[in-house]
Amino acid sequence: MNPRVRKVVPLADYKLSIEFDNGESGVYDCAPLLEFGVFRELQDKNYFQLADVLDGTVVWPHEQDICPDTLYLDSMKVHV
């Protein structure tokens, strides 16, 4: 099982700064999702900023979420 999300900070250009429960950090680009179904609402930059963590993944108030495995595997890892 891949690590789960511990913390998320929405960034500019529809990116998320994510801290995983294994101590790694990464940046996930949501832009490719914005034209699909329920993710279209994320185009609203104010709404995008409402990203939060629930049960180890990133969620928004209207029940959009991204698979935690996708967030981990597809994020650009950041070494601090």
The reported pLDDT for the residue numbered 1 is 83
**Ramachandran class of 62: left when φ > 0, alpha when ψ lies in -120 to 50, beta otherwise:** alpha
* Structure confidence by residue, pLDDT tens digits, 5-32: 999 999 999 999 999 999 999 999 999 9
The reported pLDDT for the residue numbered 62 is 97
**Percent of the residues in the chain that have a pLDDT greater than 90, as a whole number:** 94
Q: How far is 15 from 78, CA to CA, in rounded Å?
A: 13
For 6-35, b/e burial (b = at least 16 CB within 10 A) is eebebbeebbbebbbeeebbbebebeebee
Domains of the chain: 5-78 (3.30.2020.10)
